Chains A and B, each alone.
Chain A
Amino acid sequence: MIGHLTRRRPAAAPSGSRPNGAPSRGGVAAHLVGVVHLYRQAGEDIVGLRGIDLDVEAGETLALLGPSGMGKTTVLRLIAGVMTASAGVVRIGDADLRRLRPSDRRALRAGEIGYIVQGTAANVLPFATTLENLWFAQHGARTLGRVPPWHPAELLELLGLLSLAHVRVVQMPRGVQQLVAVANGIASGPRLLLADEPTAQLTTSSAFTVMQLLLRINAELGTTIVMVTHDPTMAALFPRVVTIRDGRVGADALHGTEYAVVDGSGSVQLPPDVLDTLPPNTRVRVVRREGGVELLSPGWELGAGWELGAGREPRPGREP
C-alpha cells in the first residue's frame, strides 16, 4: 500500500528564505525565539504565549503536547505565518516571518509550509473529490508559477489512496477524510508540515493510520513535521515531544525522556507533579551540584531536594 514518496521534480535548492523558489527535498528548520503572543479581546488582552523558545531542526518530527488552551495551536499558527507574533522571532529556515510581507507568508504556505488545521472539515472541500481537493491544495503553488512536485493522482497513488481519487470527501469515513486532509497538506510538496490535532475525533485505528502516514512522509521525504496533539499516545509516536503549558515550553521529551527546559529568561517550568512539592510562591534555594543544580526549599535544606537538570546534554531536538 505504501510506496516510496518521491517528488516528480526535485527542487533546485533549499530556499527557506526564498518563498517564491521551487520546493526542495528534505525539511526546513523552524525557530521560535522569545515569542510572545497576545490575543486582543474587547476590554483586555489575553496572553497566549509568554515567551516561547523552540528550535525545530530540518527533517525533525516534533509533537507539541499539552492540554487545551495552553498555546499549542498558537505556536503552530505563528509558524505557519497565519498570525504574527506580538514579540519575538519566528524563523522558517532563514526567513524571519515577522519581516515578511503577508504575500510572502502566503507564498510560504503555498510551497514551503503545509498546514493541516484542527478539524477535518477545515482542510478539505467536502463537496469535492480527492483529486479535486489535491488540485485545489496545489492551486496556490501554481498561481505562484511553481510546478507542484507531483500530480494529484501520483500523490494519491504514492499514498495508497488512488482508489479514493474520484470519491467525494463527504462520502468517506472520517478517518479517510483525515488522510485526505494530510494529503492536501503535502500536496504542494512542503518542507515543513504543520498538523494541528490530526488524530482528533478519530478512532484509534484511524489515528494510527494517520500517524503512520505522517511518519512515512517524514521518513521518505525528510519533511519537517510539527504536530499538535493533546493525546500522549499519539505524541509518543514522535521522537520528540514538547509540552506547552501556560504559554511556555513546559517540557521537552526525547525518546521518552522528559526534560524541563530553561528558557531565554532563565525560567524553567516545573513538571506538574513537582508543583505538589513546590507549590507556587515556594522559596527555593538553587544549589549547584556537579553535573546539575538542586532546588532546595527551606524544609528540604537538610539534603532533600530536586534535581532540575543535568547539564546541557542531551539537547532537545537532537539525536541522543
Chain B
Amino acid sequence: MTRGGRRQWAVNRRIRAALLINGLRWRGRSSVAMFAVAVFACGAAAFGPIYLHSSDELALSRTLAGAPPGNAGLTIANASFPRAGHHSRSWLQRYAEHPPEPGTGTRWWGTPIMTLTVGLQTIPLVPSGPGAQVSATARPGPGPLGAPSTIHLDRVPYSPTHPYSGQLVARTGECGHLHMVAGVCPQGGSRGVAISTRTDQTLGIPLGGTFPVLFGPHQPPRELHVVGIYLPGNASAPYWWGINYFGFDAVGSQGFLNIDAAFTTPSGELALAPHKRVTVMGQVPYRQGTLTTGDVGAIRADIAAFERQSLTGRQVVVSTLMPALLSRSGAVEHTEATVVDVADLELVLLGLLVLYFVAGRTAAEREPDVRLGELRGFRSSSTIAVALAEPVAIVAAAAPAGLLGGWLVAEATAPAIFGGGVTVSVTLLSVGAAIAAGAVGVAAAGLGARRSLAGGLSAAADAPSGEISLSRWYLLGDAAVVAVAGAAFFALAVGGDSGRSATGSNPLAAFAPGLLAVALGILTARLLPRVLAATHRWTAFSGRLSLALAARTVARRREYRTQLVLTALAVSLATFAVSGWVVAARNRDQRAELQVGAPRVLTVSVRSGTTFLRDVRAADRGGTGAMAVVVEHAADGNTLAVDARALDTVPIWPHDLGLPAATAARRLLPTGLAPEIPVNGTTVAATIDLVGNVRPLPQLTMAVYDADTQFSSTVLLGKLTPGLHRYTGQLNVDCPTGCRLLGLSLTWTSPSPAAGVQAPAVTVELRSLAERSASGSWRTLHALLGDARAWASPTGGVHLSSAGTALAARVSFVSGTTVTLSPRTVPTAVPVMVTPTSSSQASGDGGPLLVGLDGSTLPGRSVGEVPALPGIAGDAVLATLGILERELTGNMLTDTTEVWLGKGAPTSIVRSLQAHGVHVISGASAAAAVADLARSGLTLAYLLYLVAAVAAAVLVMGATAFTLSSAARRRRGEFSALRAIGVTSRSLRRTVQFEQAIVLAAGVVAGVVAGAVAGAVALRSVPEFLTHAPGPPLQLGLPPADIAVTVGAMILALAATVWVSSSIVVGGAAPERLAGGQP
C-alpha cells in the first residue's frame, strides 16, 4: 500500500468510525435500549456461570464445614494402629507435616496434631463397703485393662473408693484448648498432668497431689502428679476432631465409669506410660475455605497418591473422608448446575428474544440509511454493513459490559444470597458465556434488522402499503416452533416423576414454562387478529372510537405479536417460578422441621442414677413443653421412643403424615397393663403355696431391675417345697431410689440327663410378695395377685388363674427350662408406629420387630403406618418410652437421649432439666435447619429462577415502553392526521392504552395458563422434590394466592408503563406536524 493509500485507508476508517458513532448518537434512544437489552442478555449469560460458581463454592464449603470434625482432614496412623507404639511417632509426624498441597501458595492443610494416647484405670485408694458384689447381669470379669479382680466393684459413682477408666493424652496444642482453672497446663518437658474439675471432684485429689493408675495388666501402678485442673471442653469443637476426651460419667466398655482424660506432654506420657501401650496418631486438619471447586480434581489425585505413597513407604495408613465429601458436594453441584443453567438459559433466551424484538423496531430507524446506500449504488455487502454496523457494535460493546454487569450484580448480591465468605469470581465459563451470548445477540440483532435489508429500493417502491401479508414462511415457522415446543413439553411432562425415584428427576423440567409459553403465545398471537376482527362489527359504529381504532391496529400490525409472545413468556416464567419457589419452600420447611423433630431438640446426658422419663416430666410439669426421647440406633433398625403423653403437643407432626399425633399417641399407649411393682427394700419375700409333688424341688428366684443404674439383679429365694412357705432373699443391688420387680422364676432340672423330661403338673399359689429394709419390718408389695390378668408368663407353660387374693399358676415343668411369672407391666407386643421401611422387618407372627433401649429385640404390634417419623430417618419405629423403659433389663449404653421442646416450652426448661439431672450437651432447632436449607444449592438454584422471572418481567416492561416509544416517531403522522380531523389527544391516548391492554391481556392470560400448566405438570420432575429422605407426601399444589399477587403486580407495573408511555407517544402528535421531510 502506498503512502497515499495508507492515508486514505486511515481516513476511511476514521470516517466510518465517525459515522458509526454519530449514527448511534442520532438514534440514541434506540441505541441505549438495544444496548441495555444486549447488556442484559450478555450479563445474564455471564451471571449464570458466576452465580453457579459461587453456589458451587458454597456447596463445597458447606459440605466440608458441615462434615463432622476430622472427616475432611487426614488421619495418619500406623498400619497396625492402634497398637503401633510410640516408635512410629517421628515418621508419622513427618508424613503429617508434608501432606499434599496444591503448590500455588495456598495451603489446604493446617498444622498437624500429633496425639499420644494410653488407656488408664484408677486404683481406688479405699476398698468399697459391703455389698460390693458384681451383679448377675453386670458383666463381671476383669476391668478394661485386666486389673486385679479386687477392684471389681458395683456401680456406685462419684467415689474415690471405686476404679474409673480414662486416658492419658498428649496432644499437640492441647494447652491452647484447655481452659485451666487451677495450676498450669503441662508444657515442655513436664511430667505432670492436668485433670478436669469433675475428675478432681470425684477423686478428691488436690492440686499438686498424686493418684495411682494402671496402664495395663501386669503393669506396676504409676503415680500421676496433678499440676493443673481444667474445665471440661466441648468435644464437638473442631480441635478435638470428634473424639470425646471429656467422657466423664459415661459408662465404659467394661462397666466402669469414665473420667475425663488427663493431659500431659509427649515426654511426660512416654515417661509415665509403657511405650508399647502408647498409640500415636497424626491428624492433619483441613483448613476451611481453602479448597475451591477448581481444586477438586487435583486434591482427589493428590490424596490418592499420598495414600499410596504412605502405605508403600512406611506402612502408614492415611484415612480421610475428603473424597466422599467431595463426591457428595459434586452430586449437589451437578443438579444445581442443571437448574441454574436452565434458568439462566431461559433468561438469556428471553433477553435475546427481546433483543431481536428491539432490533426489529430499531431497524426501521436505520432503514433510510440503508436505502440511501442502495441509492448510491452500494454493493450488497456494504448495504448489509450499513444495516448491521450499529447493532453489531452495540452488541459487541454489550458483551464486556454485560460481563462486568453480571459480575457486579453477583458481587452486590452475594452477601445476601450466599452469606459471607463466598467469593464471586469471573470464570472462563462466564466470559465464554458472555461472548457466546454476544455472538448470538449479533445474530438476533441481524435477524431483527433483516427487514431493513429485505427487498431494497425497488421493493420499497413497489410494496403495497398497509397490508400485513400473512407470509407462508412465517406461518410455517410458527407452526414449527409450536410443534417443537409442544413436543418438548410433552416429553418433559411424561419424562419426570417426582417422589418415586431419583432417576425420574429431570432438571430440564425447568424449561417447561418457557416452551409452553412460546407455543401458547404464538397460538394466541395468531388467533388474536381473528378474534379482534370479530369485534369490528360492534365497534364500528358504536362510538367507541378508541377501542375500534385499537382493535383494528392490533389486528393489523405484526409487531404486537412479538410483544404478546414476550409478555406470555415473562408471565409464564414468573408464574412457574413463584409456584416452584412456594411449593419448594413449603416442602423444604416441612422436611427440615420433620428432620429435626421439634422446634428445639436438645441432646442431653443423663446422670447415672436418674430415670430419664420421670425426670423430664418432673422438669416440665405442664407436660406440653418438653418430651423425653430416646433414640436407639441399631444395625437392624432404629427405635424412636418418646413420651407419648407429649406427642400431640411437642414434636412437629405434619398433617400430611396421614395420622394425627393425638391418634398416634392414643394408639401407642396400651391399655390393661398392670402397674409396676416397686421394690425399695434390701430383702424380699414371697409366700407361696405349692400344691402337688415335684422332685427334685424347683429353684425359686426373683429378678428386680434398678432403673437408676440400669442393672438387673436376681435374688435366689431357695427351693420351692410343697405347702405354704415364705421364701426370702437379700437383694444384691442397692435400690436407693427404687427398683422394680421383673418377676419370679422357677427352674426345675430333672435328675435324668435325657432332654425334655417333664414333671407332673403342680399348682403354685403365690399368696403375697413383701420387702423390708435392713432393720425394718415387712411391707407387702401391691402386686395385684388376686387378678390373674395383671400377671403373665413370658416363658409359657403356665396357666394362670385367680385364687381369691392369690395368683394360681398351674405349671408343667420341663427339665432344664425356667418358668417365669411376671407382672403384666408390659404388653405382649409393643404397640409401634411404623414407616414403610421399618414395616418390612417383620417378626415371626407378622408384627414388626423393634430394638429395645438395651439393644434387645422385642416383638412389636403395628398400630399405624406413617411416611416418616419426626427426627429420625425412615428406617425406624415409634414406641412409647414408658413401655420401653419397663422392657429394660440392661443398660442403654448406645442410646441417644434427647429432650424435644415444643413451642410452648417455658424458657426456664433448660435450668429445670439441669436441676433434675438432665444436662444439655448440644441443641438444634427446626428454624436453624430451615435456614440452613435455605442456603442449600438447590434452593439457590431456584432463587436464580425467581430472580430470572423478576428480570423477565422488568425486561418485558422495558420492551413495552420501547415498543410505544419507537412507535411514537413512526405513528406521529398517523396521530397528527387523526388530531387534524378532530380526534382528541385523550382519545388517542386511550387508543394506545387499549392497544396495549389488548396485547398485554392476551399475553398475560397465555402466560398464566402456560406457567400454571407447566407448574402442575413439570414441578413434580424438579430435582428439589426428589430425595431419598422419607417424609410426608409432597405438597405440589400450586399456590393460587401467590400467583395472583405476582401476576397482579406484573399487570400493575405494565399498566403503569403503558400509561406513562402512551402520554409520551401521543404528546408529540399535532396537526401542524403533518408536513414531514425534516430529518
Contacts and interface: CB of A to CB of B under 8 A. Distances in A.
Interface string A18-31: 00000000000000
Nearest to B467: A42
B464 A115 contact: no
Contacts of A174: 1077-1078
B445 to A, nearest CB: 19
Contacts of A128: 18-19, 22-23
Contact of A139 (B26, B27, B382): B382
Interface in B373-395: 373-382
Interface string A90-132: 0000000000000100111111000101011111111111011
A141 B27 CA distance: 27
Given A106-B374, A117-B375, A177-B1079, A84 B458 contact: yes
Given A119-B1077, A125-B369, A136-B376, A83 B22 contact: no
A41 interface: yes
Given A127-B26, A128-B22, A132-B19, A42 B379 contact: no
B457 interface: yes
Q: Which of A106, A123, A136 has the most CB of B within 10 A?
A: A106
Contacts of B373: 136, 139-140
A273 to B, nearest CB: 31
Contacts of B462: 39-40, 83
Contacts of A125: 19, 22-23, 369, 372
A161 to B, nearest CB: 17
Interface size class of A (residues with CB under 8 A): 35 or more
Contacts of A184: 376
B368 interface: yes
Given A127-B26, A132-B15, A168-B22, A107 B1078 contact: no
B89 interface: no
A83 B376 contact: no
Given A42-B467, A82-B461, A127-B25, A106 B1077 contact: no
Interface in B1-50: 12, 15, 18-19, 22-23, 25-27
A83 B461 contact: yes
B1075 interface: yes
Given A42-B467, A83-B458, A123 B378 contact: no
Interface in A66-104: 77, 80, 82-84, 103
Contacts of A119: 1076-1077
Given A77-B461, A82-B461, A84-B458, A122 B372 contact: yes
B371 interface: yes
Contacts of B18: 128-129, 132
A68 B461 CA distance: 16
A297 B858 CA distance: 132
Nearest to B459: A83
A108 to B, nearest CB: 7
Interface in A159-175: 168-170, 174
Contacts of A205: none
A170 B379 contact: no
A79 B512 CA distance: 57
A310 B457 CA distance: 42
A143 B1078 contact: no
A282 interface: no
Given A121-B368, A121-B1077, A143 B379 contact: yes
Contacts of A131: 15
Q: Which of B12, B371, B458 has the most CB of A within 10 A?
A: B458
A39 B464 CA distance: 9
Nearest to B28: A127
Contacts of B1078: 120-121, 174
A314 B609 CA distance: 139
A286 interface: no
B377 A108 contact: yes
Contact of A140 (B378, B461, B1079): B378
Given A127-B26, A132-B18, A139 B467 contact: no
Contact of B378 (A82, A110, A177): A110
Interface string B1068-1079: 000000011111
The B contact surface, by secondary structure, is helix
Nearest to B466: A42
Contact of A123 (B19, B372, B379, B382): B372
A82 B457 contact: yes
A23 to B, nearest CB: 12
Contacts of A132: 15, 18-19, 22
A77 B377 CA distance: 13
Contacts of B19: 125, 128, 132, 136
Contacts of B464: 40-42
Contacts of A42: 464, 467
A188 B376 contact: yes
A188 to B, nearest CB: 7
Contacts of A124: 372, 1079
Q: Which of B462, B467, B1079 has the most CB of A within 10 A?
A: B1079
A106 B22 contact: no
Nearest to A109: B377
A132 B15 CA distance: 6
Nearest to B27: A127
A304 interface: no
Contact of B376 (A103, A109, A126): A109
Nearest to B1075: A201
B22 A82 contact: no
Contacts of A139: 373, 376, 378, 382
Nearest to A83: B458
B384 to A, nearest CB: 12
A174 B1077 CA distance: 9
Q: Which of B19, B26, B377 has the most CB of A within 10 A?
A: B377
Contacts of A82: 375, 457-458, 461
Contacts of A177: 1079
B388 to A, nearest CB: 16
A74 to B, nearest CB: 9
Nearest to A39: B462
A234 B803 CA distance: 142
A169 B22 CA distance: 11
Interface string B1044-1079: 000000000000000000000000000000011111
Contacts of B467: 42
Contact of B1079 (A84, A103, A115, A126): A126
B931 to A, nearest CB: 56
Nearest to B378: A140
A140 B22 contact: no
Contacts of B23: 125, 127-128
B377 A107 contact: yes
A306 interface: no
A135 interface: yes
A84 B456 CA distance: 13
Given A83-B458, A124-B1079, A139-B382, A109 B375 contact: yes
A188 B12 CA distance: 16
Contacts of B12: 135, 142
A144 interface: yes
A110 B374 CA distance: 9
Given A41-B464, A124-B1079, A140 B376 contact: yes
A111 B375 CA distance: 11
A137 B377 CA distance: 9
Nearest to A140: B377
A154 to B, nearest CB: 14
18 contacts: A83-B461, A106-B379, A109-B375, A110-B376, A110-B377, A120-B1077, A120-B1078, A121-B1079, A122-B372, A128-B23, A132-B22, A135-B12, A137-B376, A140-B377, A143-B378, A143-B379, A168-B22, A200-B1077
Given A124-B1079, A128-B18, 9 more contacts: A40-B464, A83-B457, A124-B372, A125-B369, A128-B22, A136-B373, A140-B379, A188-B377, A200-B1077
Pairs A-B, 7 closest by C-beta atoms: A110-B377, A127-B26, A126-B1079, A109-B377, A140-B377, A121-B1079, A140-B376
